[in-house]
A and B are shown apart, each in its own frame.
Chain A
Amino acid sequence: MEQVPMWRRYLRLLGPDPAADARDEIRFHIAALADDLVAQGWSREAAAREAERRFGDPAFIQQLGARLGRQRVRARQRKDRWGALAQDLRYAWRTLRKERAFSLVTVLILALGIAANTAVFSVVNTVLLRPLPFPDAQQLVWLSSGRKAIAAGRAPTGLSSVTYTVDAYEEYQRNNHAFQQVASYDPFLYDSDYTLMGRGEPEPVSGVLVSHNFFSTLGVRPLLGRLFAPDECRRGGRPAVLLSHAYWQSRFHGDPAILGQSLVLRQQSDEAAATVVGILPEGFDFGAVFAPGVRLDIFVPAVMDDLRSRGNTLALVGRLKPHLTVSQAQAEADLVFDQIRAAHRDWWGDYSSTLTGLKEFVSGKLRRSLILLWCAVGLMLLIVCVNLSNLMLARSAARAREFALRSALGAGRGRLVQQLLTEGAILSAAGAALGLALAFAATSYLAHQGSIALPLLTSVRVDSAALLWTMAISASVAVLFGVVPGFSAPAADLQSSLKDSGPGTTAGRKHERLRSALVVSEVALACVLLIGAGLLLRSFLNVLSVDLGFQPSRAAAISVVYDDGGKMDRRGPVLQDLLRQVQALPGIEAAGITDMLPLGRNRSWGLAAKGKTYPREVQRSALVRIATPGYLAVMGMRLIAGRDFTWNDTPQNQRVVVINQAAARRFWGDEDPLGRLALVSGREATVVGILADVRTHSLEATPGPEMYLPASQSYPSGAELVVRSRLPLASLSASVMRSLRAINPAQPAAEFRPLQQIVDRSVSPRRFFVWLVGTFSALGLLLASLGVYGVISYSVARQTQEIGIRMALGATSARVQWAVMARAMRLVLAGILAGGLAALALSRWIESLLFGTRPADPTTFAGIAVLLASVALLAGFLPARRASRIDPMLALRSGG
């Protein structure tokens, strides 16, 4: 057993053969037995026969042996594989620990890339990809009235042009066959602002009026209690409310005992005690779906008979019957509305129904922005990958000797690639772990940004889909790690690798060309990203510098509640008194009241010039604001002609109206409307003033027709007191609140909201996107400049000797420095050129997201080019300076 002859080694050259092993073993046994029998005196032939006989059934045992042997071979192979993996892991860990700086930088870069991708994917997934948080959400449909007005792309007239009257809602509900249910709610949320009385200080409560089937249509079940009963939705029925989960938690500390208790809700001078019949589940966030950025506390049954006379008040949501598509329902709706219009000639002639999936309605407007964001973050990841490939290449060049040695010692190419893959896997796993942690932090931060008016943002979280996405990214990065250096390193044979460590050899040059190409593409990618961000930033700045038509600085608004007993006669004096007292407070420069602030809620009423006829498609309505004298002044709005209201515009005197320029243009054309009669909701009023257009709807949309009516002659809904002061709001708040309470004890506790905050809120989606795209492109810029720095400083290090020779031959240090800088510039300019062209081609795609700037904005393109060039100059400058300080003598002596 001691000596194993050489032939034995080749016996199983083609791998293990368990069947042959079992056979040989049995043959040996029989032979040994025969040997013993011969020794006992048997003849050779007889012994062999006897041995065979005694053994029994060799075929059966041999089969068993083959099977057991195969099991053993498999187990051993498995063990070997894991053993190799464990070895790779240990080795990779040691290598990475030794190159701590490299590992740290790689993991950090990866973590940033993965975090950004995961967070953005979570947002995209929540807002765009995932269905709405309702059962069978694909059946839910949003209905919008007024197709022609929308199709004509006319200036927005706000919610009034997408909503329905109660009569139209009921007609449609009766006549359609496509929907299981059609529900409605009142999107004019001012109809349902209340003051909660009798529970400590009066406090504001925001609510929404919903039809009795609203929750059942959406498929929302109450967490506690029940939904509305039919008799609670009729005039004179028992008042009932449902609480949102958040309000229940924050106001009543999640106490179930609130069920069945009544809340005293006050609206102007009406007060009613409504019973809490149920609590809605945590997952139902009305604001997130229907009113982004708005928090709603309570849900109140919409009593249809109360709303019937108020015009377009209802927004409609329907649940399709199973297996019906939106387009089928649309076809039916077109027919139904033709009939409805024919039956009711007195109704608005544009009544129709445009159906969109509720999901599309909620997030359709954001699709392009979100996809842009996704692309931006994808580009950034691409830059991260290019950067890392570059790092890996630099590293594999440095490790060429190691790999050559290992392959000389018998490691196959596959084994080396496996080693590299293992290192890549460790790095990308670490990056993914850190990135996920960052993404968790980022998404939970976003989910709690109530001030960003984006739908569904509150429900953003890193879910299983996002986790899968992250894993896919990190797996592909790990592969990249193995493959990129795998191309160059293990291929090198011992000879050339060991020789190639010297300067200026061809393989080294080839390597460097590859790295240069990578840097150029990195710069190009960063350039595309930066130009996109630049265009968005420029748009954002354009939006910010838009002439609002009012002055938000130093002005603030607070909701007030006054008691005029519901009588128009008394309203004027009550408001006049209130404003006088507020203005008398120290620090208040001006004050005024309106029912609706700009950039917030809106409604529109009929408006036309008296005695004029218009084509049928001209929409005879305008956004309406009801204000007190002094409101226009305190807002800093500019009267172009005419006058503000006075306290003499009483119900007894001539009715007056102030219109904006857009209204003057639409309804009077070239004539001067001042002093002429207008029809406001069908009643005559004299135009006493013309106001410069105010951005009432949004900062970006051109203002449409708008009118202002005096509070003493009309029906304001709610009241916002606007004051202008040099004093800080905090100090103002207490004194204003004191005097408001003195005037009306039912005044709820409220906070001053600076007008600037209202403006900020309306630009928050744009700010959100600009901020994110900007961050990604800044990271891209940083990575690209790191790439430039890496390549240039590597080439300087490699050419130390050459530079030394040139300096010894008389090149000045300035000249050497210039040569290095020029190399950096060449790389960057190539990148800028490629990136600029790509951006030019791509920027058309984001045209609709821009504001006040063209996709091929030369300023942005030039600015980004200069920015990139100067950053790259800096990145090239450091190695260039190092090159210029090379001591020729030292360089020449140490070379080799």
Chain B
Amino acid sequence: MDKAQLELIRGTLDLLILKSLVWGALHGYAITRLIHRQTGQAFLVEEGTLYPALWRLENRGLLESEWGLSANNRRAKFYRLTPEGRRRLRQDSKTWAAYAAAVGKMLAATHAPLPEEN
């Protein structure tokens, strides 16, 4: 937690949330913990951005929620992927991979490209 935090690139939070729910329903706190651990403490999702993102995803029909009991026997709202959310996750993962690969290629370049031949 004391390590340097990475600034979240716009639009990636939704993807991270969707991914965090593929193993089952979680409440908001558990989602931040999971993302934190899974990314090797790279990302700490702030509450001020997490909840609005969750609610928007729910309104768009990608998540659904239900009140339940947490491990500590507290009343908590659990989020779960809808079929639509699962579809979106698959799609966006592909897009993200292609994006990351393209950015990586560019940044790994050591010399200017050869002149184009027409």
Interface residues in chain A, defined as those with a beta carbon under 8 Å from any beta carbon in chain B: 1-5, 8, 11, 21-22, 24-26, 28-29, 31-33, 35, 54-57, 60-61, 64-65, 68-69, 71-72, 75
15 A-B pairs in the complex with CB atoms less than 8 angstroms apart: A1-B25, A3-B69, A4-B68, A22-B51, A26-B51, A28-B28, A28-B29, A28-B70, A28-B77, A35-B72, A56-B46, A60-B48, A71-B59, A72-B55, A72-B59
Which of B30, B69, B77 has a CB less than 8 Å from the CB of A25?
B77
In this assembly, does B52 line the interface, its C-beta being within 8 Å of a C-beta of chain A?
Answer: yes
Give bound CA distance, A22 to B77, whole Å: 10
B72–A24 contact, CB under 8 A?
Answer: no
In this assembly, does B84 line the interface, its C-beta being within 8 Å of a C-beta of chain A?
Answer: no
> Min CB distance, A65 to chain B, in Å?
6
B72–A32 contact, CB under 8 A?
Answer: yes
Which of A4, A55, A72 has a CB less than 8 Å from the CB of B47?
A55
Contacts of B30 in A (CB 8 A): 32
B74–A32 contact, CB under 8 A?
Answer: yes
Give bound CA distance, A521 to B67, whole Å: 60
Which of B46, B51, B58, B74 has a CB less than 8 Å from the CB of A31?
B74
Which of B27, B46, B56, B58 has a CB less than 8 Å from the CB of A28?
B27
A65–B55 contact, CB under 8 A?
Answer: yes
Give bound CA distance, A477 to B78, whole Å: 49
Residue on A with the closest CB to B67?
A: A8
A64–B52 contact, CB under 8 A?
Answer: yes
B58–A72 contact, CB under 8 A?
Answer: yes
B55–A68 contact, CB under 8 A?
Answer: yes
Residue on B with the closest CB to A57?
A: B48
A68–B52 contact, CB under 8 A?
Answer: yes
Contacts of B27 in A (CB 8 A): 28, 32
Give bound CA distance, A203 to B107, whole Å: 94
Contacts of A2 in B (CB 8 A): 68
State the main secondary structure of chain B at its contact with A: mixed
Contacts of A3 in B (CB 8 A): 69
In this assembly, does B94 line the interface, its C-beta being within 8 Å of a C-beta of chain A?
Answer: no
Known contacts A26-B47, A31-B74, A56-B48; 5 additional CB pairs below 8 A are A1-B68, A8-B75, A25-B51, A55-B47, A60-B48
Number of A-B contacts (CB under 8 A): 76
Contacts of B28 in A (CB 8 A): 25, 28-29
B75–A61 contact, CB under 8 A?
Answer: no
Give bound CA distance, A32 to B50, whole Å: 15
In this assembly, does B76 line the interface, its C-beta being within 8 Å of a C-beta of chain A?
Answer: yes
Interface residues in chain B, defined as those with a beta carbon under 8 Å from any beta carbon in chain A: 25, 27-30, 46-48, 51-52, 55-56, 58-59, 67-70, 72, 74-78
Give bound CA distance, A11 to B74, whole Å: 15
Give bound CA distance, A69 to B59, whole Å: 8
Give bound CA distance, A542 to B55, whole Å: 83
Contacts of A69 in B (CB 8 A): 55
> Min CB distance, B78 to chain A, in Å?
6
Contacts of B52 in A (CB 8 A): 61, 64-65, 68
Known: A61-B48, A72-B59. A1 touches B78 (CB 8 A): yes
Which of A1, A4, A61, A71 has a CB less than 8 Å from the CB of B51?
A61
Residue on B with the closest CB to A24?
A: B75
Known: A1-B25, A57-B48, A68-B55. A32 touches B67 (CB 8 A): no
Give bound CA distance, A456 to B76, whole Å: 75
A1, A28, A31 interface centre (most CB from chain B within 10 Å): A1
Give bound CA distance, A75 to B56, whole Å: 13
Contacts of A26 in B (CB 8 A): 47, 51
B51, B58, B72, B74 interface centre (most CB from chain A within 10 Å): B51
Give bound CA distance, A751 to B48, whole Å: 94
> Min CB distance, A646 to chain B, in Å?
102
Give bound CA distance, A2 to B68, whole Å: 7
Contacts of A25 in B (CB 8 A): 28, 51, 76-77
B46, B58, B67, B78 interface centre (most CB from chain A within 10 Å): B67
Give bound CA distance, A61 to B51, whole Å: 8
> Min CB distance, B14 to chain A, in Å?
15
Contacts of A71 in B (CB 8 A): 59
Give bound CA distance, A192 to B76, whole Å: 96
Known: A25-B28, A28-B27, A72-B59. A65 touches B51 (CB 8 A): yes
B69–A28 contact, CB under 8 A?
Answer: no
Contacts of B55 in A (CB 8 A): 22, 64-65, 68-69, 72
> Min CB distance, A8 to chain B, in Å?
6
